[in-house]
Amino acid sequence: ERERERMVGGRTSRRLVVFGFLLLLVAVDEGANIARPGCPDKCGDVSIPYPFGTEKGCYFDEGFHLDCKTTFTPARPFQGNLEVLNISLVSGQLRALNLIASNCDGGTKVETQFNLNKSPFNFSGTRNKFTALGCDTEAFIVGSGGVSYTSGCISFCTSSQGMENGTCSGDGCCQTPIHSWMRTFKITINILYNHDYSWELNRCSYAFVAEEGQYEFRVPDLYDKEFGQRRMPVVLDWSIGSQTCAEVENSPGYECRSGNSRCVKAPRGVGYLCNCTEGYQGNPYLQDPDGCQDINECHLPEKYPCDGWCRNRKGSYKCLSRGLLLGIGLGIGLFFLLLGSFFALWWLHRRKLRQVKQQLFERNGGEHVKQHLSAYGGGTFRVYPIEELERATNKFNADSIIDGVSQATVYKGSLDNRALAIKRFNHFDDKRSEEFVKEMITVSQINHKNVVRLLGCCLEVSLPMLVFEFIPGGNLDQFLHGGLGRVPISLDTRLSIAADVAEALTYLHSYASTPIFHGDIKSANILLEENHVAKITDFTASRLAAKDRAQVATIVQGTCGYLDPVYIRTCQLTEKSDVYSFGVVLVELLTRKVPIQFEGPGEQRSLVSQFTSSAGQNRLRLMLDAEIVTQGDMERLRKVAELACDCVKMNQEERPTMKDVMMALTTVRNVPRAPAGSRLT
């Protein structure tokens, strides 16, 4: 070891050992796996990363083959006659020990020739300098790196006075840069005056190429007889091949094997290097998982400082400072405080809303509905929450309105792919809530093909809502009077509609579990399926029949032109009141005229008055719709007209029951058609 220390020499030797050790640590830090699998990754104390190697099959090509000499203890790697100190994959450089040229004989002497033409190396022009030492010295370096290159410097001194340690500016020592990419060179040393002026001070001249900063001039080096035995560190640039990154990427010979590697331009200007991408370390020339691996920056606080919370990420890391963490903590605390306050207010609002809904539900008779459903079951009837109906009608959008009258507005909605008609009352008598619920429950139990099915209700709102099945064909009023566009209507169709309505009313009056008086039969309350099957709806004015088969109303409800005059006078709603209203609808079907005309003298404004008067004066033909008159069914028309006149008689006792009406219509519909050309007076 003392012999090695003597050869390297003094402070230069100590700096070389320390610097080499640091670079060795850097090389080791570049990744645990640096050599090919199964290949040695060290020669003595020096790491040997691929593409370099010391054994066959362990290096890229012969230019990267290093000779590991085991005659030394520990073993030492050599590239030619240069002892390798360190290899850097990142910068593409190799550090080695270089010989010193000397001339102690006088005259001109050529020493130290290097030739790297057949290798992947050249001497680094940025990391090395040419240095000459002596008091009678002229030193030249002649090299080539594709072009010829010559440089040199002159050093004089006659005494040690005026010379400074650490200064190499021509007084005992001189330095000059070398050409970049130099691959071959030789050093020539001339003794200018045969040391005649400096024999006592300096008898030898020296020259060498060394890494910049690794030699520091000391005056005693001029008369150190063993200075020429030292070796100086020199830096060699290396690269892979001769192609650029653009030329070699995606080609079979591309040596950047790791998935986290990238191609970079080589410092020597020829070929390329491979580096790990940012945030990764290791050997980019090896295939994964032996190649570039993620750096856990949080485990290297000296290199990646983080004053706070550190979290490793693939290829990077995240650092949150203590101040930021404190700010985030305060922010999160404030957020949760606001969130808690919001949820508290939301909960209080929801609680108040539930209380209001419950109060409205109870006020509108909801408890009676619950009791009934609990005791008897509801079948298809259910109580809808307001949210479902809002969703079904897009929050009761005006575009969803299909009918609107003074008492209620009807919306079309859809729930679970089922079309609904939702009736929203415009006003409601709280005093009738119990009676309303009883009637609603009774109507909900009606299951007849000619009655619109009541599916449910919503009672948790200020004005109750009813949910019905949706009938797509519009109502009879629109069908007769052109609300849907005037279309031809045969007598058979009109009689079929009348029979459907009569059958529905017969069921309500005679066969329902509790007889029901509708109270508002009119063409607008008769809905039509697409095949003209009629269904009655709107039981707003309806009443459940009492034991005496009559109901006294505090307020007469119904529609002008359809209301029974006896009901108006006595306020007693009976089944014969529905018979009268049905008679008006029957007249409307025969004449295709509205029940009330708002122009003309008093009696002429009422369709019923005109019709019965014409029938009594044998002028019925003038009242009937010309379309059915021309069809020639005169016998059936006469019988239907007579039935209509019976229904609208002023004396209730003389009116038929709806069961009688239904049977009469059935008989009329079965009467054979009269021969064409028969006349009706």
Measure Cα distances from 639 to 629, 645, 665 in Å. 14, 10, 9
Helices assigned H by DSSP within 73-131: none
Pick from 663, 659, 668: nearest CA to 641? 668
Say how far apart CA 26 and CA 34 lie, in whole Å: 12
Cβ–Cβ under 8 Å, residues 514 and 653: no
* Sheet strands side by side (includes 76-79): 67-69, 76-79, 82-88, 93-99, 231-238, 121-123
Cα–Cα separations (whole angstroms), residue 515 to 206, 417, 434, 503, 510: 132, 34, 18, 14, 6
The count of C-alpha atoms lying within 13 angstroms of the C-alpha of 416, restricted to the half-sphere facing its C-beta, is 1
The catalytic position among 477, 520, 564, 578 is 520
Report the amino acid identity of residue 370.
K
Q: Is 524 helix (H, G, I), strand (E, B) or coil?
A: helix
Residues 525, 543: Cα–Cα separation, whole Å:
16
- Give dist(CA 285, CA 51) in Å, integer: 7
Contact 228, 206 (CB under 8 A): yes
> What is the enclosing helix (H) or strand (E) of 317?
strand 316-321
CB neighbours of 474 closer than 8 A, spacing ≥ 6?
483, 484, 527, 528
Residues 248 and 242: their CA atoms lie apart, in Å, by 9
Residues sharing a CB contact under 8 Å with residue 480, sequence separation 6 or more, in sequence order: 489, 523, 588, 589, 592
- In the DSSP assignment, the letter for residue 281 is E
Tell me how far the alpha carbon of residue 546 is from its chain's centroid: 64
Residue of 366, 456, 364 lying closest to 418 (CA atoms)? 456
Check: CB of residue 588 under 8 Å from CB of residue 523: yes
Q: Is 520 a catalytic residue?
A: yes
Active site residues: 520
